[in-house]
Structure 1
Amino acid sequence: MLDALRRRLDAWGVRTATSRDALLGAVVGVVSVALFLAVLQVVSSGLGETLGASASTDSMSTGARVAACVVLVGQSMALTLRRRWPVLCLALTLLGQLALAPLLPPFVNFQAPAGLVAAYSVGVHAPRRPALGAAAGAAVVQVLLGYVLGGPATAAELGVPVATQLWGGLVSALVTYLGAALVGAYLGTRRELLAQLRARVAQAEREREALAAQAVLAERGRMARELHDVAAHHLSGIVVQAAAAERLVDGDPERARESLRWIRAQGRETLENLRLVVGILRDTGTGDDVAPSAPQPTLADVPALLDLARSTGTRVQETRRGEPFDLPPTAQLTVYRVLQESLANARRHAPGSAVDVETAYDEDGLEVTVRNGRGDLSAVSPADGADDVPGHGVIGMTERAELVGGRLSARRTSVGGWQVRLTLPRSDDAGAPAARVAQEAR
């Protein structure tokens, strides 16, 4: 209902809070004048016959009636200030009520509706304690000054003791003003609670969206790392073997066919690995397209990885130092992926160069270093990607190392090659970071 009224006011061009309060004041003014004239008519026809002509409202002149109506309209228009300055609005309506007292005939005590609306507005828009204090103060001032301005004559004519009249009027005014202020305070508090609830809901929605966006970015990073680690390693070997087969197809067909058979086997393995990765990333759980699960690589798979690199023509020299110790599955996966990416980069950017893989176990942890020389750039044509700049591989390796509490550095060596160094702490130190990537190890 309120929304429909707001839409109607918007259609009429009454859009601001001040303009709507001014319209409310005008409506209250018209209602107040109508009620005032109706009260005069009722009192004139009722009490006039009972108490005599002296008590009749007919003695109220036309000028007094017009002045009273003007006071009522002005009092009502003070409601324009009820949102911005609610206490001032209450004070102005109180002044209007006091100005009305001398104009009223005996036996007529008319409480203008604007005062009640102002007391309600104080409860809604002013702080709670000052609002109730202002409402109580307005009731006391209205009773006392109203008695001074017009009360003694009325009390004498009715034969009512002054104290009784004052206490009765004070109780009535307090109930009226405080009641209106309390209703306004209740509705104002309820409105504030609803606003806070909406703000919290909006904040929760923004946080949910931020978490969802963060989760999407994390998932995109995981997808990029998995796809890059699986595809780049095999495809770089396929490219090297394809270039070799192209040069040997005329001079040594048998070796060319051997290279093609290797390419076919590696292509089949690449497709199978990509299918496994896509199945993991989709995580459908049901249906006919579910990819079979496969164990993640560990340190036990490193020799096979090095043999695969040697089968592509890369000279790989492995050195181990120290006593091996157990590493969490996530750390082992990180070592395997870093070696895989480093070998692929060496094959892609320094074909023909020897690669040294050094694994060192000590008290602090595990350190894996992969070095390659400048390489024989004549072994691969520019079309084979020898001059490519490394892409996201180093970024993915660095992210993997950080997720398990390790460090990774990649730099150019003094002889023109590259060195990649991965440092991982022992399992006791790496346990907490490893928990953050437990999902990736499954």
Structure 2
Amino acid sequence: MTETLRRALDRVGVRTDTGRDAVLAGVVALATVALFLGIERVLATEVGATFGAGPGESVIGPGVRATVLALVVGQAAALVLRRRAPLVCLALTVVAQVAITALLPPYVGFQAPATLVAAYSAGAYAPRRARLGAPALAALAQVLLVFALGGFGVPAGAGPAQHALQVGGALLSAVLTFVGAALVGSYVATRRELVAELRDRVVRAEREREALAAQAVLEERARMARELHDVAAHHLSGIVVQASAAERLVDADPERAKESVRWIRSQGRETLDDLRLVVGILRGRDDEGDEREAPQPTLADLPALLETARAAGTTVTVETEGEPWEPAPTAQIAVYRVLQEALANARRHAPGRPVAVRLAWSPAAVVVTVRNPAGRAAPPQDARPGHGLVGMRERAAVLGGTLDARRTPDGAWLVRLTVPRAPARDPRTPAQEAS
């Protein structure tokens, strides 16, 4: 059933498989009745006199006609079972066909279309191992039963050779017809199963990709939280030291003590902001992490990172634009990690190709751009973005920035991180300023 016909039936309210099969059964019944009556008319007009009938007189009696028409309608009605019970449907249509053939004169060769539809349905909906065997067996049973009932009209004095020729020809024709229809149905079923399997694979792959991406986000958030924890711990250590110094300066140098208190207040706010970021990132996660403690990277570590990339065989050029300013520690970590990931991706996907790094400083933000030509082997068109991009976007989002990772019109790969400038904070203590 074509998609157009299916939509047409949907519009008139026929939306179930059983309903569609009922419509098909009705159409087959009407077509078979019309075909049978047309054949009867041709026989009456052309060959009726040959078999002892009068001019224009039917060679089929009224009683036989009524019985055959009833069998034809019942045979078509069995098609309602063609999806739910295809083998039962095939058996019922074959039994009805045997009865029809036995009732009609031997010279009236009438094969109802319902048997072909049933054979097709067996190929399309029966269990895989029975899709071709059942129609072939049905064809054999039909021919043998018709022969047993004398439906082939072999003359009484015919020899075994003539009987064998008559039965063999009928058997070959029936098997080819039934199995041919079943082959078409089996092809349709195989294609339907393949499409369903491919769709299922696509759905499973998409779910797996989403799960991996979600896991990558969680892992990146945990890593960022550990980094922010270290930054906050550094600030708190400075606050404790400066509080002790302020306590000693309260009487000796009140102004210096006030400066220390102001610095403590500034650092306390910065630490509070970092801790709020930690809470927002974790959102209730209880993940203490098991990575070894290590100093968190800053912009001062970028030259070493670039040298490491060059030592690995990557040609890296660096361009700086604007007047640099000191971002917040969390922003410095983000810039370092994104640049680290971008260089690793360039080395992985385009080994040996040059990489251009550009840092553009403005009063409002710092923009880090990493650009490299595509590798010699272009990635497949359906390649999914890696989980490294997920982590980079997560870092940018936490800082209120953006990350753009895409292929440019000329085929190069571009990663652009934009980090907005936070309110200026002086990380030095008053004691450090005095010194």
- TM-score scaled by structure 2? 0.58
The more displaced of 193-202 and 123-132 is: 123-132
**Residues 1:203 and 1:53: Cα distance change in structure 2 (over 3 Å):** same
Task: Verify the 8 A CA contact 1:279 1:290 in the aligned structure 2.
Answer: no
Deviation at 1:222, TM superposition (A): 1.7
Q: Distance in 1 between matches of 2:55 and 2:128?
A: 42
Deviation at 1:143, TM superposition (A): 1.1
Of 268, 277, 298, which aligns to 2:333?
277
Amino acid at match of 1:48: G
The more displaced of 1-10 and 214-223 is: 1-10
Report what 1:104 is aligned to: 104
Matches within 5 A, 1:8-407: 8-48=8-48, 53=53, 58-151=58-151, 154-156=153-155, 161-235=162-236, 237-238=238-239, 241=242, 245=246, 252-257=253-258, 259=260, 271-280=327-336, 283=339, 288=360, 289-290=366-367
The more displaced of 256-265 and 69-78 is: 256-265
Give the SS at the match of 1:156.
Answer: coil
Q: Distance in 1 between matches of 2:182 and 2:224?
A: 62
1:256-295 per-residue CA deviation (whole Å, 9 max, x = no partner) reads: 15525865997799954233123235558656224699xx
Deviation at 1:38, TM superposition (A): 1.6
Q: Distance in 2 between matches of 1:279 and 1:22?
A: 68
Q: How many residue pairs were aligned?
A: 292
1:151-198 per-residue CA deviation (whole Å, 9 max, x = no partner) reads: 25x333998933222111111101111111122222212222222121
Q: Distance in 2 between matches of 1:205 and 1:174?
A: 46
Give the SS at the match of 1:100.
Answer: helix
Give the SS at the match of 1:171.
Answer: helix
Q: Distance in 2 between matches of 1:129 and 1:55?
A: 52
Q: Distance in 2 between matches of 1:260 and 1:131?
A: 88
**Residues 1:232 and 1:42: Cα distance change in structure 2 (over 3 Å):** farther
The structure richer in helix per residue is 1
Task: Verify the 8 A CA contact 2:101 2:146 in the aligned structure 1.
Answer: yes
Q: Distance in 1 between matches of 2:369 and 2:40?
A: 93
Q: Distance in 2 between matches of 1:292 and 1:10?
A: 55
Give the SS at the match of 2:105.
Answer: coil
Report what 1:386 is aligned to: none
Q: Distance in 2 between matches of 1:91 and 1:114?
A: 11
- Structure 2: 5+ residue stretches without partners: 272-297, 299-325, 343-356, 361-365, 371-435
Task: Verify the 8 A CA contact 1:25 1:76 in the aligned structure 2.
Answer: yes
Task: Verify the 8 A CA contact 2:120 2:183 in the aligned structure 1.
Answer: yes
Report what 1:420 is aligned to: none
Task: Verify the 8 A CA contact 2:116 2:177 in the aligned structure 1.
Answer: yes
Deviation at 1:61, TM superposition (A): 2.3
Task: Verify the 8 A CA contact 2:94 2:142 in the aligned structure 1.
Answer: yes
Q: Distance in 2 between matches of 1:66 and 1:28?
A: 18
Task: Verify the 8 A CA contact 1:275 1:291 in the aligned structure 2.
Answer: no
Deviation at 1:250, TM superposition (A): 7.7
Q: Distance in 2 between matches of 1:130 and 1:71?
A: 26
1:223-271 per-residue CA deviation (whole Å, 9 max, x = no partner) reads: 2222222134215634774697599668741441552586599779995
Task: Verify the 8 A CA contact 1:86 1:126 in the aligned structure 2.
Answer: yes
Q: Distance in 2 between matches of 1:191 and 1:81?
A: 20
Q: Distance in 2 between matches of 1:46 and 1:99?
A: 25
Give the SS at the match of 1:137.
Answer: helix
Amino acid at match of 1:156: P
Report what 1:3 is aligned to: 3
Give the SS at the match of 1:53.
Answer: coil
Deviation at 1:216, TM superposition (A): 1.2
Deviation at 1:8, TM superposition (A): 3.0
**Residues 1:275 and 1:136: Cα distance change in structure 2 (over 3 Å):** closer
Report what 1:425 is aligned to: none
Task: Verify the 8 A CA contact 1:132 1:182 in the aligned structure 2.
Answer: yes
**Residues 1:206 and 1:286: Cα distance change in structure 2 (over 3 Å):** farther
Q: Distance in 2 between matches of 1:190 and 1:281?
A: 48
Q: Distance in 1 between matches of 2:147 and 2:91?
A: 18
Give the SS at the match of 1:183.
Answer: helix
Q: Distance in 2 between matches of 1:157 and 1:108?
A: 18
Give the SS at the match of 2:131.
Answer: helix
Q: Say which one has the larger Rg.
A: 1
- Structure 1: 5+ residue stretches without partners: 294-442
